A and B are shown apart, each in its own frame.
Chain A
Amino acid sequence: GENVEQHPSTLSVQEGDSAVIKCTYSDSASNYFPWYKQELGKRPQLIIDIRSNVGEKKDQRIAVTLNKTAKHFSLHITETQPEDSAVYFCAASGLAGYDMRFGAGTRLTVKP
């Protein structure tokens, strides 16, 4: 089955800096790659996703890139703010999100 690895496990940045979280996956059949943000004590929430026919997607300060050949994808957050502090999870699945597998998570801390 699919195996998703995520790095780093913790990341600390200064407010205004950029943050990058990287994930690799093992199953070449995976074609849907969402990212979730989980604030303390809350449920994970979808923040951005990318499908295998797209190389990059942006939404304001957040972007995701996908390299299908290398089987890796990354989350980029620019101009970080303290409210970006949370745990971020990457995930990979087949079409439409069936059988989704998650990375172990990255705890991002943005220092004011």
Chain B
Amino acid sequence: EAQVTQNPRYLITVTGKKLTVTCSQNMNHEYMSWYRQDPGLGLRQIYYSMNVEVTDKGDVPEGYKVSRKEKRNFPLILESPSPNQTSLYFCASLRWGGTFGSGTRLTVV
């Protein structure tokens, strides 16, 4: 079954404490992306990756980092989280519509 596996599902952290949200896909897709979802704003792209070692900024990249060392994994890194990064995050592999991960609800206090 085509899957995008994202962890953790829920995370509460404090301002400034580095965190990583993991994402893994089993579809052998080159293209992966990260979105954040906020009420009234839809899904906004944070970063995307066209292939291993190829990443680029989306519309809201400030405060985030990503890496793509291997095709299946695309972690999202918040080096110093702030309260305005409290959101629902989705990893996705959207080739021809594709698949979203199950989401990570992040709260930064």
Contact = CB atoms under 8 A, between A and B. Distances in A.
B96 A105 contact: no
Contacts of B48: 98-99
A101 B40 contact: no
A43 B43 contact: no
A32 B48 CA distance: 18
Interface stretch (B11-19, B62-70, B100-108): B100-108
A106 to B, nearest CB: 10
Interface size of A as a range:
20 to 34
Contacts of A97: 31, 94-98
B97 A46 contact: yes
Interface in A36-79: 42-46, 49
A44 to B, nearest CB: 5
Interface residues of B, number: 23
Interface string B36-78: 0000111111001010000000010000000000000000000
B33 interface: yes
Interface in A86-112: 89, 93, 96-105
B94 A100 contact: yes
A44 B100 contact: yes
A87 B48 CA distance: 24
Given A1-B59, A43-B90, A43-B102, A49 B97 contact: yes
Interface of A: 1, 6, 9, 32, 34, 42-46, 49, 89, 93, 96-105
Interface of B: 31, 33, 35, 40-45, 48, 50, 59, 90, 94-103
19 contacts: A1-B59, A34-B97, A43-B90, A43-B101, A44-B100, A46-B97, A46-B98, A93-B94, A96-B95, A97-B31, A97-B94, A97-B96, A98-B50, A99-B45, A99-B48, A100-B45, A103-B42, A104-B40, A105-B42
